[in-house]
């Protein structure tokens, strides 16, 4: 793994008891995995008023089930209601928020002042957190929202550690910050490319991630210059421009890599002490539309790192295996975002991405028989005899082996586990536990 460590934060320290680890949950199953693997809280989307309209999202019935499950583990459930509402969105908000409160939701994450006002007036028992969509990055703005009655502000992703320290020095309020996941290539919440290209409003949940599309580049002719000649029209793209009356010079030749402008992903695993010492109250992981394998892996690693540092700060050591685990869930190259400096050209991706994830979620452990060393596995992706696999889990399970003989529930020998959610049995080299995961290399 390429190092992503930046210089240590050397400003004033603001220690706290223990930061909250806040995980994404795109559906009910992901919620349960996130909590099993160590999340203190999860944030979800309902079927209205959220910014991930393409995620599965939760019905009220699923919310109630999720809250009941979270309560068993001492975890909380937050709901993102973070759109910027248009006039037609206003009707129904009050009833929706009341339903969230009745479902047992601990807090809502809100950007629009109109929704904040409705929540405080109509459902005073429902805690309101300010969304990162407000791009709040200075202490006076945070003070404003505190005076408006909000107990927590989710900072804009552009806030630095120094700015966070100044906020904590001036304002006694909970601060939540993104510490892992995808970053917006523009100021968070201010991009209108999706609206322009596809009529899908980013601020109403429709972002098409147009910054990660593949683009051709052209240079306009300068005044009194003509680049397109009759000879040039032999090139198909130049001919098309010529016919349209556009005098542009293509900067790419046929076969060249296309241009993108997406940012690298944020990863602060190597900088846990700085995040804790500066006083961030909630460590937020991005990814409500990411896979179960991503959620479990990332939450599991950060849980270990946070607990290790809090148990013995003076002797804390970053473990290389944590970095290796993060890479197994990484979609893109990683960096430290805005925490230490302003990202530059080295922190963006200008060519089509090569997806980095080399592992698939192959199976979920449902049972383990110690005497026979046989594990009952619920198949999640195809695997067969001879595949190299890894087991990992929230209680420290981690080992590698090859798949030996595979049996179905009736004891019949199989050459592969082919069917989604099929229950099979395999012999394992070490003990495993319920909800441990089995992954395989792609």
- Give the model confidence (pLDDT) of 73-92 as tens digits: 999 999 999 888 889 888 89
Q: Encode pLDDT of 288-309 as tens digits.
A: 888 999 999 999 999 999 999 9
Tell the residue number behind the tokens 């001919």, with chain if given. 239
Chain-centroid distance of CA 386 in Å reads: 33
Residue 135, CA distances (Å) to 138, 158, 250, 378 in order? 9, 8, 37, 42
Residue 203, pLDDT score:
62
Q: Encode pLDDT of 321-365 as tens digits.
A: 999 999 998 878 889 999 999 888 887 777 766 665 678 899 999
Instruction: Assess whether pLDDT exceeds 80 at residue 2.
Output: no
List of residues 6+ apart from 223 with CB closer than 8 A: none
285, β-bridge pairs:
180
Q: How many CB atoms lie under 10 A from the CB of residue 240?
A: 11
Is residue 181 helix, strand or coil? strand
Is residue 174 helix, strand or coil? strand
Eight-class DSSP state of 429: S
Nearest residue to 181 (alpha-carbon basis) of 109, 103, 266, 245: 266
- What pTM did the predictor assign? 0.86
Nearest residue to 20 (alpha-carbon basis) of 313, 339, 328, 310: 310
Please report the domains of the chain, with CATH numbers, ordered by start residue.
Answer: 20-188+262-339 (3.20.20.70), 216-257 (no CATH), 359-441 (2.40.30.10)
What's the token pair of residue 165? 């320290």
CA distance 175 to 434: 35
pLDDT-wise least confident of 7-11, 54-58, 106-110, 343-347: 7-11
CA distance 431 to 419: 25
Residue 184, pLDDT score:
77
Q: Encode pLDDT of 320-330 as tens digits.
A: 999 999 999 88
Residue 413: exposure state from Cβ atoms within 10 A (0-12, 13-18, ≥19): exposed
425, β-bridge pairs:
376, 407
List of residues 6+ apart from 130 with CB closer than 8 A: 109, 110, 111, 116, 136, 145, 150, 152, 153, 154
Q: Encode pLDDT of 416-430 as tens digits.
A: 999 999 999 999 999
Asked whether 93 and 115 are in contact (CB, 8 A), the reply is yes
Instruction: Assess whether pLDDT exceeds 80 at residue 366.
Output: yes
Q: Encode pLDDT of 208-238 as tens digits.
A: 777 777 777 777 655 555 555 555 544 555 5
Percent of the chain past pLDDT 90, that is, above it, reads 64
Residue 99 or residue 12, greater confidence: 99
Q: Encode pLDDT of 125-164 as tens digits.
A: 999 999 998 999 999 999 999 999 999 999 999 999 999 9
Instruction: Assess whether pLDDT exceeds 70 at residue 52.
Output: no
Q: Encode pLDDT of 231-277 as tens digits.
A: 554 455 555 555 555 556 666 666 777 777 778 899 999 999 999 99
Average pLDDT across the chain, whole number = 87
Q: Determine the average pLDDT of the residues in 26-35.
A: 96
CA distance 89 to 53: 14
Instruction: Assess whether pLDDT exceeds 60 at residue 4.
Output: no
Asked whether 338 and 157 are in contact (CB, 8 A), the reply is yes
pLDDT-wise least confident of 41-45, 180-184, 201-205: 201-205
Q: Encode pLDDT of 89-113 as tens digits.
A: 888 999 999 999 999 999 999 999 9
Asked whether 438 and 365 are in contact (CB, 8 A), the reply is yes
Asked whether 391 and 434 are in contact (CB, 8 A), the reply is no
Tell the residue number behind the tokens 């601020």, with chain if given. 203
Nearest residue to 106 (alpha-carbon basis) of 131, 73, 75: 75
Chain-centroid distance of CA 358 in Å reads: 18
């Amino acid at each position: 793994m390429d190092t992503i460590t930046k210089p240590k934060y050397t400003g004033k320290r603001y220690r706290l008891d223990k930061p909250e680890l806040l995980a994404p949950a795109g559906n009910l199953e992901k919620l349960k995995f996130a909590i099993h693997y160590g999340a203190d809280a999860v944030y979800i989307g309902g079927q209205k008023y959220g910014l991930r309209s393409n995620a599965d999202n939760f019905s009220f019935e699923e919310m109630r089930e999720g809250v009941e499950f979270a309560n068993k583990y001492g975890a909380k459930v937050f709901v993102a209601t973070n759109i910027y509402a248009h006039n037609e969105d206003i009707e129904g908000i009050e009833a929706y928020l009341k339903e969230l409160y009745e479902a047992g939701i601990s807090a809502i994450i809100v950007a629009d002042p109109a929704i904040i006002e409705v929540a405080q007036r109509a459902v005073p028992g429902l805690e309101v957190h300010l969304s990162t969509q407000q791009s709040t990055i200075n202490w006076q703005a945070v003070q404003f929202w505190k005076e408006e009655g909000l107990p927590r502000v989710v900072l804009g992703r552009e806030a630095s550690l120094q700015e966070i320290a100044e906020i904590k020095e001036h304002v006694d309020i909970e601060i939540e910050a993104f510490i892992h996941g995808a970053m917006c290539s523009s100021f968070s919440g201010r991009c209108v490319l999706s609206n322009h290209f596809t009529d899908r409003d980013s601020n109403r949940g429709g972002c098409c991630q147009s910054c990660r599309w593949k683009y051709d580049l052209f240079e306009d002719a300068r005044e009194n210059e003509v680049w397109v000649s009759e000879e040039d029209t032999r090139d198909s793209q130049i001919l098309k421009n010529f016919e349209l009356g556009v005098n542009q010079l293509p900067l790419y030749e046929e076969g060249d890599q296309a241009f993108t402008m997406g940012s690298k992903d944020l990863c602060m695993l190597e900088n846990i002490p700085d995040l804790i010492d500066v006083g961030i109250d909630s460590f937020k992981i991005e990814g409500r539309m990411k896979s179960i394998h991503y959620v479990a892996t990332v939450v599991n690693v950060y849980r270990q790192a946070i607990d290790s540092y809090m148990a013995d700060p003076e002797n804390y050591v970053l473990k290389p295996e944590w970095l290796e685990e993060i890479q197994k869930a990484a979609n893109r190259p990683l960096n430290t975002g805005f925490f230490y400096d302003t990202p530059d050209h080295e922190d963006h991706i200008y060519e089509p991405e090569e997806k980095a994830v080399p592992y698939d979620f192959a199976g979920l452990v449902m049972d383990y028989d110690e005497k026979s060393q046989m594990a009952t596995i619920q198949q999640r992706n195809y695997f067969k005899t001879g595949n190299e696999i890894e087991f990992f889990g929230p209680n420290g399970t981690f080992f590698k082996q090859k798949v030996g003989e595979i049996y179905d529930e009736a004891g019949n020998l199989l050459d592969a586990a082919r069917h989604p959610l099929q229950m099979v049995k395999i012999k394992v080299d070490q003990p495993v536990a319920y909800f441990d995961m089995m992954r395989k290399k792609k």
